[in-house]
Amino acid sequence: MVITPEDWSAIRLTLTLAFVVTAVLLLAGTPIAWWLANSKSRWRGPVSALITLPLVLPPTVLGFYLLVAMGSGGPVGHLTQALGLGLLPFHFSGLVVASVLYSMPFVVQPIRNAFEASGKRPLEVASCLHARPLDAFFSVALPLARPGLMVGAILGFAHTLGEFGVVLMIGGNIPGETQVLSIQIYNHVEALEYTQAHWLAGSLLVISFVVLMVVYLYDPKRRVF
């Protein structure tokens, strides 16, 4: 077997990271998407731009600022130290925070589109049928946005799997803590271990392809999920 225990550890870590990040993003991204889809606030534009930034910024730029902010001299670093959490960089929790920000647009955008596509009418109907706003959100808006939620979750998961730059900046290369799959592949290539690099890179390629294919084959009417 060419996959070493270190490789397995990287795979495990990557999957854990992707699951945690997807869960956090669904919980945090859905209200944000809702607000962006429905708010008339003048902050809507700036917030949209901020959330979409990771799409256009080099990961190293985002990673650099996060490193500074979360480091011992940064505002976030002060806060986490004051709270007794220590410093986030070079820890798994730091990776989660960075990945959540980095994958945010991939999750928020499809959910926002889904909310915008179903419009206000279903919620008006729900309120005419005595559903309170929160009730209407969970019993009507959320189920109607299910295709968007599915696509958002899958894209967020897949995007986190393939992360490299931000992780390298903020987490480094600590086995079992921050050494994710993409970084392990880099390590193998650096050490000229092409066979092992092939195994990991190939698996990541196949997994990513399958995940994206599922997104494109997903047809809400046929209820694949």
Q: Which is nearer to another protein, 81 or 139 (CB)?
A: 139
* Cβ 32 to another protein shortest distance, Å: 22
Using the rule CB under 8 A, which residue among 2, 125, 212, 213 binds another protein? 125
Is residue 131 involved in binding another protein (CB under 8 A)?
A: yes
How far CA 94 is from CA of 24, 57, 159, 179, 187, in Å, comes to 14, 19, 17, 12, 21
Eight-state DSSP code of residue 156 = H
CA nearest to 111, candidates 208, 51, 31? 31
* Cβ 12 to another protein shortest distance, Å: 36
Eight-state DSSP code of residue 85 = -
* Cβ 164 to another protein shortest distance, Å: 38
Site for another protein in 138-197 (CB under 8 A): 139-140, 143-144, 146
**Which residue type occupies 198?**
H
Q: Quickly count: other Cβ atoms within 10 Å of residue 188's Cβ.
A: 21
Q: Which is nearer to another protein, 12 or 146 (CB)?
A: 146
Contacts of residue 25, defined as CB under 8 A and 6 or more positions apart, other chains included, come to 100, 103, 104, 107, 108, 152, 153, 156
Is residue 45 involved in binding another protein (CB under 8 A)?
A: no
Using the rule CB under 8 A, which residue among 124, 138, 212, 224 binds another protein? 124
* Residues within the interface to another protein (CB under 8 A): 121-122, 124-133, 135-136, 139-140, 143-144, 146, 221
